[in-house]
Amino acid sequence: MEIKVLGSGCANCKRLLANVEQAVKETGIEAKVIYVTDYMEIVKSGVIHTPGVIIDGKIASTGRVLTVGEVKLLLNK
């Protein structure tokens, strides 16, 4: 599984990254977590509002900081 966290590097983006990493750790799912801060790459991904999460190439969330529990629900889909 590949999970991309997209954001500008702001506090909310970093908090979302930490929540994603914690959810991956707690679920035991094998996943590569990538933090994308390059503006052009974010635009190409289709995410309009950051922070965003893309799981295996599909946009899972945009514009909000997901809790660890919310990320776990996305990972188990």
Residues classed as catalytic: 10, 13
Q: Name the token pair of 35.
A: 């933090």
Query: Pairing between strand 32-36 and 2-6?
Result: parallel
Q: What is the sign, positive or negative, of the torsion defined by CA atoms of 64, 45, 56, 10? A: negative
Q: Residue type for 9, please?
A: G
